[in-house]
Structure 1
Amino acid sequence: MNCYDCLTRQRTSVAVAACSRCGAGLCLDHVHVAPQTVHEAAGTGLSTHTPDARRLTCGVCHEAEI
């Protein structure tokens, strides 16, 4: 798979990740890595897990979530 953002700029780069929101292939230059807290139902409340998980997104989805 190739990086979608690179292809729109007439370049070819190997994708190393896929956006967790839209599924676009991403190279290291275009992937955004952010922590994501994982919640799990536990009894009458929520429990969080440590450490945080990774959330990989493209630039468009990253900006849309801010």
Structure 2
Amino acid sequence: MHCLECHAEGRDSSAVGVCHTCGAAVCAHHVRTVTRSVRHGSLVGTPGERQERTLQCLVCAEAHTPAAAAHTR
């Protein structure tokens, strides 16, 4: 599979992942790794918390930043 962004730029680069948001194949240059805390556990007791890692293309990463959300309002 090849990177969608590189293809649009006239190059062929192997993809290293798929954007979690839009499903576009992305190379190492056009991918952003996003981490967030995920809480889990029962309603009784102390919940556990772990880090989740997802991949996003540059377009989706930009759209999901807090600064981008402020400009759309």
TM-score, normalised to structure 1, is 0.84
Number of residue pairs aligned between Structure 1 and Structure 2: 65
Counterpart residue number, 1:17: 17
1:3-56 CA distances to partner (integer Å, 9 max, x unpaired)?
A: 001000000000010000000000000000121211325216983423x11121
CA RMSD of aligned residues (A): 1.9
Q: Give the Cα separation in 2 of the matches to 1:60 and 1:48.
A: 32
Amino acid at match of 2:56: T
User: Partner of 1:54: helix, strand, or coil?
Assistant: strand
**Where has structure 1 moved over 4 Å in runs of 4 or more?**
none
Partner SS, residue 35 of structure 1: strand
Q: Equivalent residue for 1:39? A: 39
Structure 2: any 5+ residue segments left out of the alignment? 66-73
| Contiguous gaps of at least 5 residues in structure 1 | none
Q: Which has the higher helix share?
A: 2
Residue identity (%): 35
- 2 CA distance for matches of 1:48 and 1:24? 32
Partner of 2:49: 49
Distance 2:4 2:16 in 1: 11
Q: TM-score, normalised by structure 2?
A: 0.77
